[in-house]
């Protein structure tokens, strides 16, 4: 397990024992920026993730309790009556995201069943907190009308005031709690 990276050697890459090293974050960011620009330029829309997840869920709900969907204003919009919640570009993007991640992991030898966690907690505890964090993330993302991708990244790049306020709120929320839950990660 190689741990650190020599700071004076030529290739500025981290050495990761699992598969090939990750990209230089600035290069990865520039590539992500180009993908985001392509999305805006070609389609007029940015990127997103939570919207796709929401629609898949609503589609499942529509199979089980369609009457309930038709009575709930917020869900009606996505799946009311004959509307197919899956027939939406964000669902296609989300599908692409999953497959793109998989292909990249495959190509770089990073497909591996594992639970990433801090050194001081058990895997079980990590998974409990993962669910808890996920619940808050999912709820918050809908409340804020977007997640880190759909709001912060996409809205930030086109200079939406709300997206920048949102972005700082996410960082503020994380930093405010970080010290109290440091056992989880450090």
Partner 1 sequence: MAPFALVDQFGKTIAYLIYFAIGLGFGATLEMAGFSDSRRLAGQFYLRNLTVLKVMFTAIITAMVLVFLSSALGLLDYPRVYVNPTYLVPGIVGGLVMGVGFILGGFCPGTSLVAVSTLKVDALFFFLGVCIGVFSFGESVGRINEFFYSSSMGRFTLPEWLGAPTGLVVVGVVLMALFMFWGGEKLEAKFGGPEEYAAVRVLPTRTHHLAAASLLGLALVTLVIGQPNAEERWSRAGEETHALLQNRGAYIEPGELLSLSQNREVRLLMLDVRSEAEYNVFHLEDARRVDMHEVEEGLLSLELLQAPSNTVTVLIANDELRSTEAWRRLKADRVLNAYILEGGVNEWLGEFRPDLALVRTRSVPVGSMRYPFPAALGAGQAGANLDELSHEHPDLAFEAKVKLQTKKKLGGGCG
Distance CA 159, CA 89 (A): 23
Per-residue tokens: 103: 């292909």
How many residues form the binding site for partner 1 (CB under 8 A)? 135
Identify the residue among 66, 84, 122, 158 touching partner 1 (CB under 8 A). 158
Identify the residue among 66, 72, 120, 121 touching partner 1 (CB under 8 A). 72
Least distance from partner 1 to the Cβ atom of residue 122, Å: 12
Residues 116 to 145 in contact with partner 1, rule: CB under 8 A: 116-119, 123, 126-127, 129-145
Upper half-sphere CA count for residue 65 (Cβ side, 13 Å): 8
Distance CA 130, CA 148 (A): 17
Identify the residue among 63, 70, 99, 183 touching partner 1 (CB under 8 A). 99
Which of 44, 153, 22, 148 has its CA nearest to residue 89? 44
48: phi then psi, degrees, rounded to nearest 5: -175, 165
Identify the residue among 41, 67, 81, 82 touching partner 1 (CB under 8 A). 41
Identify the residue among 35, 62, 67, 122 touching partner 1 (CB under 8 A). 35
Q: Is 169 in the site for partner 1 (CB under 8 A)?
A: yes
Q: Is 83 in the site for partner 1 (CB under 8 A)?
A: no
Least distance from partner 1 to the Cβ atom of residue 9, Å: 9
Which class for 53: exposed (0-12), middle (13-18), buried (19 or more C-beta within 10 A)? middle
């Amino acid at each position: 397990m190689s741990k650190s990276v020599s700071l004076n050697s030529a290739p500025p890459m981290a050495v990761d024992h699992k598969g090939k090293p990750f990209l230089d974050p600035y290069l990865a960011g520039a590539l992500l920026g180009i993908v985001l620009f392509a999305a805006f330029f070609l389609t007029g829309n940015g990127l997103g993730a939570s919207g796709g997840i929401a629609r898949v869920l609503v589609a499942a709900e529509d199979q089980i309790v369609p009457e309930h969907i038709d009575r709930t204003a917020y869900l009606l919009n996505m799946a009311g009556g004959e509307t197919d919640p899956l027939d939406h570009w964000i669902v296609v993007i989300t599908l692409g995201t999953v497959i793109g991640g998989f292909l990249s992991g495959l190509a770089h030898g990073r497909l591996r069943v594992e639970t990433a966690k801090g050194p001081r907690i058990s895997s079980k505890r990590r998974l409990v907190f993962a669910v808890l964090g996920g619940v808050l993330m999912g709820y918050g993302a809908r409340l804020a009308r977007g997640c880190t991708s759909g709001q912060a990244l996409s809205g930030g790049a086109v200079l939406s005031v709300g997206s920048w306020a949102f972005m700082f709120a996410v960082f503020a929320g994380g930093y405010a709690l970080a010290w109290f839950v440091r056992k989880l990660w450090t």
